[in-house]
Structure 1
Amino acid sequence: MMLKEKLASRTRRLSCEVCIIPSATVAQAVASTGIDIIVIDREHAATNNETLHAMIAATQGTDCSPMVRVIDHNPANVKLALDLGAEAIMFPLVRTPDEAAACVASVRYPPNGIRGWGAFVAHSRWDVAPLDYLATFGDKIVCCLLIETVEALDNIDAIFAVDGVDMAFVAPFDLSTSLGISGEFGNPVFIDAVRKIEVAAKTANIPLGGGPANTKAEIDDLFSRGYRIVGGFDILQLKRVVSEMVAAVKSCSE
C-alpha cells in the first residue's frame, strides 16, 4: 500500500526508521521487518547518489515506503531523489508557509508544481512503463516537513494550512537547539513548543511523527498525544543494542 493511502486513514499508526548508515544492506534488512517507512538521510549522513539509489531499490518487494530526507529545499535535489524512486521527501528546516508551498511544488509535476520529468529509473522501482509513471504515481508522492526552528513555531498554523503538506515530523534535536536549550527535552520551554506543534497538527489534520521512540512506553506516550508516526535512528539503535551486549559481557567478567 502506498504511503499516501496509509496516511489517509486517521486511525492508522505507522512505524519508521531513519537510516543514517549509508548501506543498501541495512535498508533491505530494515524494510524486510514490516516497517512502514524508511527515511534515507542525505542531510546528515554520508549517503551519495549511488548509495541512495541502492537503498531505495532495496525496499522493493516490501510494504516499506522509501522517504528521502534531502539536504535542502533545492528542487534539483528533490527531483533526483524522486527520479531514483523515492516515494516521499522529507524537507528540513521549513520555517515559513512560503517555504512549505515551495516544497510541495517541487514534488508535483506541472501544472500543479515544478518537478521535471525524468523517471528513467523510478519507473522500474514502481514496476510500470516509463510513460506510465507520471499518470500512476505522480499524485502519490508524499511531502513531509520537519518542524525544527523557532521561526517554524511562530508560523506553525500557516505552515500546516498549506495545501499539499501530507505529514510533518517534530525534530527534537534541532528544535531544542533553536530554542537555546539543546538536548533539554524536559525543559518546560521545549515541552510547550512541542505541545504547540501537536495542537496545530491536530487542528489541521496533519499526520504528525515523532521520536526517537525505542521502547513500548515511549511509543505509547507519543500515540497517546496524537502522533501517527513513530520511530528511531538505525545508528542509535545499533549502538544501544551493542552497548547492552558489551555491558552484559563486562558484568560476567567482574
Structure 2
Amino acid sequence: MAHMKHRLHHSTDRMTMHICTIPSATVTQALAAAGADAVIIDMEHGAIGYTEAHAMIAATAGTHCAPLVRIAEADARLVKRVLDLGAEGIVFPLIRTAEDARRAVASMRYPPNGNRGFGPFIAHSRWGTALTEYPAKMEDNLTCCLLVETADAVANIDEICAVEGIDLLVPAMFDLSTDLGLMGQFDHPDLLAAMGKVEAAAKAANIPLGNAALNETQARSLFDRGYRVIAGFDVLWLREKTMQAQAWCAE
C-alpha cells in the first residue's frame, strides 16, 4: 500500500485520519483495522507519552493506516524523537510564518536537505529495513502536515504555502476561532473569511487540505469545497456511540 504522502500527491483519494487522544494501542489498532487511512497520535493535547506513542505506532503495522504524530510544539528535538519511534509523519501545531514552515520541513529530513539527526534504531524495524537503509526508504515518504491555527498564519498563508515540502494543510477551526476571539463561532463571517483565504492559498499552491468532520453532512461539505482528508476524534466517537446506546434505553 502506498504511503500517505504518495497518495496525497499522486492520487485523488479521499482519506480519513482519526485523532487519537486516548493512550491506547488497542484503540489505535481498532481504528487502523477498521480502515482508517491515518491516525494522528496526539502528543499536544492528549494524555500520551512516548512509551504509549511507540506502542500506538507499532499497532498500525500490517494495515495501510499511516501513523502520524502531533507534537506539542514545532521543535526539531520532538520531531526527531517521534520519527525515530517509527512515525510516518508529523503534524505541526502553531505554524505562524513561512520561516516556521521551513524549519518544520527541515526537521524531518537528514542533511544536506535538513537537520534531522541519525538514530532510527526503533523506526527501522517498524518499516522493515536495515538501520542504514531507513533514510533511503523513508525520508521521501514522511508526511509533513501543518496546522493553521492563528491570525498570523492566515495573514502569512501565501508565503507559507510557497514553502516546498508541505504535504497537507489543516485550517484548525477550533484553535483559529479561539485566536480570532470567536471561540466556537464557526459560522462567524470573520472565521469563514479566514478559512476561505487559507483554502484559496492551498488550492493555488496545489497543497491538499484536511479538516475535522464529525458527521456525514460535514464531511460532504468539506469534500465539496475541495478537501481531501477528513478527521475525527477517538474520544468523541466513543462518547457519541455511548450516548446513542443510552438513547436506546429510553422509554
Deviations 1:38-85, CA, capped at 9 Å, x for gaps = 000000011011000000000000000000000111111100000000
Contact 2:150 2:175 survives alignment (8 Å): yes
**In the alignment, which residue of structure 1 is the partner of 2:210?**
209
**In the alignment, which residue of structure 1 is the partner of 2:242?**
242
Check if 1:118 corresponds to 2:116. no
**In the alignment, which residue of structure 1 is the partner of 2:5?**
4
Report the more deviating stretch, 68-77 or 240-249: 240-249
Deviations 1:9-44, CA, capped at 9 Å, x for gaps = 352211110001111000100011111110000000
- 1:215: how far off? 2.3
Q: Distance in 2 between matches of 1:248 and 1:190?
A: 37
Describe how 1:52-201 pairs up with structure 2 within 5 A.
Answer: 52-201=53-202
Contact 2:24 2:56 survives alignment (8 Å): yes
Measured on the aligned residues, the alpha-carbon RMSD in Å equals 0.9
The answer for unaligned runs of 5 or more in structure 1 is none
Paired AA for residue 56 in structure 1: I
- 1:216: how far off? 2.1
**In the alignment, which residue of structure 1 is the partner of 2:231?**
231
**In the alignment, which residue of structure 2 is the partner of 1:24?**
25
Q: Distance in 2 between matches of 1:233 and 1:169?
A: 15
Runs of 4+ residues deviating >2 angstroms: none
TM-score, with normalisation over the residues of structure 1?
0.96
Q: Distance in 1 between matches of 2:139 and 2:222?
A: 32
Report the identity percentage: 49
Alignment length, in residue pairs?
250
What SS class does the counterpart of residue 135 from structure 2 fall into? Answer: helix
Q: Distance in 2 between matches of 1:112 and 1:217?
A: 42
